[in-house]
Structure formats: C-alpha cells, structure tokens
C-alpha cells in the first residue's frame, strides 16, 4: 500500500519540529529518512504510526487519511518499530511478539493457529527461534530490538515504519535485517543514521534538515559530497561500492567539513554542543 505524507507540520511545545513535509512511499518502495540529530525524523515517523497528530497536513494510506480510520484498522495496515524500545516489559519474548496480533482480535480472545504461526514466522525471520520463553527484560539491547521487530512483522502489515532499526545490532545482524527488508519488498518508511546502509537499502532517500525536506531522490542523486558537507557538516568522497555497485560514502573522520579545519559546519556543531 502506498503511504503519502502530505504537507505535514508538527508543533511541539510551541515550536514547529516538522514543517510542511510532503513525501511518498509508493507500493513496495523503501523510503529512507536521513538527517542530522534533531532534524525531525522520529517526529515525522510518529505521525505515520499515529503516535502524534500533525498540526496541519495529512498522512494518507492508499489515499485514505489515517485519522479517518480506527486505531485497530490502522494497526492492521501499519506496524512500527518506534525509537522508544520499552526495556522493562515483564513479559516473555513470545508474549511481546504476540502483541503484534492484537489488531486482529476481539477483546479477550485467545491466540489461534494463525497467531501462533505468525509469531513463530516472525521470530524465525529475526533469527530468534527458540527464544520464546525468555524474559524480554533480561535480553541484550540487540536481542530486544529484534524481538520488537518480530512484533512488527507478526502484525503482517502492509506498511512498515522503522525508526533506526539497526541501532544496537552487530554488523551481521544489521546486514541480515537489511537483506530481509530488501527481500520483503513491503512499503517501508525507515530512518537510518548509517548513510551507507541507507544507500544500499533504500529506493529513495529524503533528507531532513531542521524539520524540512531539503533533498529527495535516489541515493545516488541525493548523497553528494556537497549535500554531506552542507547538511551533515562532514567531508566525504562518494565512490562506487566495489562489491555491490551502490554509492559508498568514504567519510573523512579526521576533519569536519569547512574551508578551514577549525571552521565550517563542523565548528558550528562543536560550539552548539557546548564543548569548545
């Protein structure tokens, strides 16, 4: 299903955090949101999974405003991995993943065979078959992350909304997750800090800067050295990945962008953060 974010503005504590954002994830497309810390990625994603209401604008699912649907109906179509990963659930892994089935149930209904199958499949997809009886609170950060992803998969949604899903994952699990998302070809809106992962996964990227989209296009169109300097304040070369042919960003980890080592965007970041 297609998801359209149509001229969305979100105001929190009297400030426009997201301003007039319009973007589309077409049916089966993986749309990536990238941008510096605080640029509004999570806020925008929260409007897509109905955690926040936009002040103006709409989120449309296959042309219908999600606000005109019940929350259960939205949840049958849209599953989210939020950034708040709720670490202290007193539940087993199986119980957490089974929560993904609740939009399909009437109140107090038990699990049926379809639920058991969806939970088992989802755990298998994230490589956690056999973890069903483990306590969620006692898992590592990366394991919890994969359980919450399994909960989203168990929801069998048309649209996945994933906020930094590779956080906490070791490199093998990052690669496996990206491969899984690529193979599913489900409509996905995903925020990622790892720009090389975004370049390899996403069909289109949307760059957020101070709450507005400043560039949209294929990773190759968007991830230019100029944009990386201007928006992210880093010096980088963009080359072709020798194994995959994807754009590969080679960052200069020694100096931020700018005409002088102590100047430019890097300097601005240093002074904003309060560390001289």
When the beta carbons of 167 and 224 are compared against ligand ATP, the nearer one is 167
Distance CA 229, CA 72 (A): 43
Distance CA 175, CA 105 (A): 34
Does 130 bind ligand ATP (CB under 6 A)? Our answer is no
Q: Are the beta carbons of 227 and 211 closer than 8 angstroms?
A: no
Taking the chain, what is the end-to-end CA distance rounded to the nearest angstrom? 48
The dihedral formed by the CA atoms of 241, 192, 56 and 17, expressed in degrees to the nearest 10: -110
Q: Are the beta carbons of 119 and 112 closer than 8 angstroms?
A: no
Residue from 7, 27, 38, 170 in contact with ligand ATP (CB under 6 A): 38
Please report, for residues 44, 47, 194, 256, 273, the alpha-carbon distance to residue 53 in angstroms, rounded to integers and kept in the order given. 10, 6, 28, 37, 30
When the beta carbons of 76 and 209 are compared against ligand ATP, the nearer one is 209
Residue from 35, 100, 247, 256 in contact with ligand ATP (CB under 6 A): 35
Does 17 bind ligand ATP (CB under 6 A)? Our answer is yes
Residues binding ligand ATP: number (CB under 6 A): 11
When the beta carbons of 14 and 63 are compared against ligand ATP, the nearer one is 14
Does 166 bind ligand ATP (CB under 6 A)? Our answer is no
Chain CA centroid to CA 233, Å: 22
Residue from 8, 19, 21, 39 in contact with ligand ATP (CB under 6 A): 39
Specify the DSSP class assigned to residue 274: T
Does 19 bind ligand ATP (CB under 6 A)? Our answer is no
Q: Are the beta carbons of 205 and 217 closer than 8 angstroms?
A: yes
When the beta carbons of 35 and 54 are compared against ligand ATP, the nearer one is 35
Does 12 bind ligand ATP (CB under 6 A)? Our answer is yes
Residue from 19, 42, 47, 145 in contact with ligand ATP (CB under 6 A): 42
Distance CA 22, CA 254 (A): 36
Contact letters for ligand ATP, residues 45-84 (x by CB under 6 A): ----------------------------------------
- E strand spans, 194-261: 204-209, 212-217, 234-240, 247-256
CB of 13 to ligand ATP, least distance (A): 4
Q: Which residues bind ligand ATP (CB under 6 A)?
A: 12-13, 17, 35, 37-43
């Amino acid at each position: 299903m297609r998801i359209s974010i149509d001229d969305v503005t979100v105001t929190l504590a009297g400030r426009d955090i997201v301003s007039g954002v319009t973007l589309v994830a077409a049916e089966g497309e993986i749309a990536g949101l990238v941008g510096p810390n605080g640029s509004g990625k999570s806020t925008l994603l929260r409007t897509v999974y109905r955690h926040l209401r936009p002040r103006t604008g709409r989120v449309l699912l296959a042309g219908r405003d999600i606000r005109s649907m019940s929350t259960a109906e939205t949840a049958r179509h849209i599953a989210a991995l939020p950034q708040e990963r709720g670490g202290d659930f007193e539940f087993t892994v199986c119980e957490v993943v089974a929560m993904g089935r609740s939009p399909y149930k009437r109140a107090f209904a038990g699990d049926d065979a379809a639920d058991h199958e969806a939970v088992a499949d989802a755990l298998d997809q994230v490589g956690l078959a056999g973890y069903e009886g483990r306590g969620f609170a006692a898992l590592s950060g990366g394991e919890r992350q994969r359980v919450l992803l399994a909960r989203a998969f168990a929801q069998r949604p048309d649209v996945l909304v994933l906020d930094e899903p590779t956080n906490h994952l070791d490199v093998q699990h990052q690669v496996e997750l990206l491969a899984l998302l690529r193979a599913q070809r489900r409509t996905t809106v995903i925020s990622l800090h790892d720009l090389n992962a975004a370049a390899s996964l996403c069909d289109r990227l949307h760059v957020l800067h101070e709450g507005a989209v400043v560039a949209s296009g294929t990773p190759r169109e968007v991830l230019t050295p100029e944009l990386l300097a201007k928006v992210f304040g880093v010096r980088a070369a963009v080359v072709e990945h020798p194994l995959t042919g994807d754009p590969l960003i080679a960052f200069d980890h020694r100096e931020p962008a700018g005409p002088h080592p102590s100047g430019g965007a890097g300097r601005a970041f240093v002074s904003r953060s309060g560390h001289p």
